[in-house]
Structure 1
Amino acid sequence: MRRSTSVPLGRSYLALAALATTGGLAACSRQQQTYCADQNGVVVPDARCDDGSPGHYYYTGSYGRGRSPGYRLSGGSRVSSTDSIGRSNAGLPSTGHVANGTTHSGGFGSGSKGSSGS
């Protein structure tokens, strides 16, 4: 008689699979921060994105809050500060001021709008 080599799935395996799934979903809804930066990703005062200066962009990603001018951002996405459609698609107001460090929900499938400072 031949013995089965299959291993039954125990409760610990199922709990681990549930935990991994939950962690993956949490990563999809991370908080995103937006900063005004130059073409090299270096944070500049947010007023530079307000005045339509060429070469200034809004960078959005999981950067954390409190990034000061001079901090170099990496990763995330960027949109020209003067591109109203791109801003709207990125979850930012299509016009107006967006304060450095503005937080909004982001990640896969996010359709929420960001908040802006005044």
Structure 2
Amino acid sequence: MPLGRSYLALAALAMTGGLSACAREKQTYCADANGVVVPDSRCDDGSPGHYYYTGSYGRGRAPGYRLSGGSRVASTDSIGRSNAGLPSTGHVSNGHVSSGGFGSSSHGSSSGG
């Protein structure tokens, strides 16, 4: 195989691996019991009925967006939060990347207050 084709094959393989790593990225959002995203501050104040949902939702989900699938943990459950890869206490921004993929320890946010 000529050098040019080997390089292209290697580049294609690297890109495929990169895309599958992005697919493993999981975002966390504060939402109500129905999975509707709410401002992340609602999970900070210990309001009953607010949860952290973690799944492959993508970034930038604004309040009002309905999440489906993934897992959920009560915002006040420190052990559950730790088990989900979140800090056991404190603020978690909507769009927080909790595991897998590129930038797995980075934070993101969506509009809303």
- Calculate the TM-score normalised by the size of structure 2: 0.70
Deviations 1:56-94 (A, max 9, x none): 000000000000000000000000000000000000000
Hey, what's the Cα distance between the residues in 2 that align with 1:42 and 1:114? Answer: 24
In structure 2, the partner of 1:50 is 44
In structure 1, the partner of 2:54 is 60
**Aligned ranges 1:1-118 → 2 under 5 Å:** 26=20, 30-106=24-100
Report the secondary structure of 1:104's partner residue.
strand
Hey, what's the Cα distance between the residues in 1 that align with 2:26 and 2:100? Answer: 5
Gaps of 5+ in 1: 1-18, 108-112
Task: Extract structure 1 runs of 4+ deviating beyond 4 A.
Answer: 113-117
Q: CA RMSD in A?
A: 2.5
Q: How many residues are paired up?
A: 90
Hey, what's the Cα distance between the residues in 1 that align with 2:94 and 2:83? Answer: 18
Report the secondary structure of 2:26's partner residue.
strand
- Calculate the TM-score normalised by the size of structure 1: 0.67
Report the secondary structure of 2:76's partner residue.
coil
> Percent of aligned pairs with the same residue?
83
Q: Which structure would you say has the larger RCO, counting Cα contacts within 8 Å and 6 or more residues apart?
A: 2
Post-superposition offset of 1:115: 5.1
Post-superposition offset of 1:104: 2.7
